[in-house]
Amino acid sequence: MALSDEERKARRKEYEDTHKELRASWRDSHKDELAAYREKNREELNRKNREWYQKNKEKVCLRTNKYYKKNISKYDQYKKKSYGGIRLESLSKVDPSLKCANCGCDDTRFLEVNHIKGGGMKEHQKRDDGMRNMILIIRSGKRGTEDLNLLCRACNSLDHLERVYGKTGLSVVWDKKED
């Protein structure tokens, strides 16, 4: 009698569970052969992977989403910690003093990368390597920082307004809190 999909899956899982260590040690002792096999059949394997992915796309997305949602705090913590460090590193490449070039604000939470002569949006749209985030672009070394400076978010907004409307009469004052 033919097995149903469910039954076959269950048997396979049972087999994999009981033979886990055996399989792992086999893989371990056949590393070179496996690597050679993968190298030799790379295109075929890639094609199969792609086909499998296309067929199972929705399932994969669902699983990834579910995993992400379950572990969201872990991801967030990781992202915050690592991205925060990367951000400061990139900002200090633009200006080691980590200050707004206009008002002097040195609260790094408010600082943003600014194109001194404008053209930020153009660069944004022109990039074809998929990198849209200045922090990551600077970090990658794909562009220099000579035409960039740091502005706090308030001064950056004002800069934008004055580019669009001309002089606005607005000004930003950084009233540094002493603590």
Count of residues near Zn ion by CB under 5 A: 7
Stretch of 43-51, 53-61, 85-93, 155-163 lying at the interface with Zn ion (CB under 5 A)? 155-163
User: From CA 154, how far away is CA 162, in angstroms rounded?
Assistant: 12
> How near is the Cβ of 148 to Zn ion at its closest, in Å?
15
Q: Is 91 in the site for Zn ion (CB under 5 A)?
A: no
Q: Is 113 in the site for Zn ion (CB under 5 A)?
A: no
Cβ distance to Zn ion smaller for residue 103 or 137: 103
Cβ distance to Zn ion smaller for residue 90 or 102: 102
Contact residues toward Zn ion (CB under 5 A) are: 100, 102-103, 105, 152, 155, 172
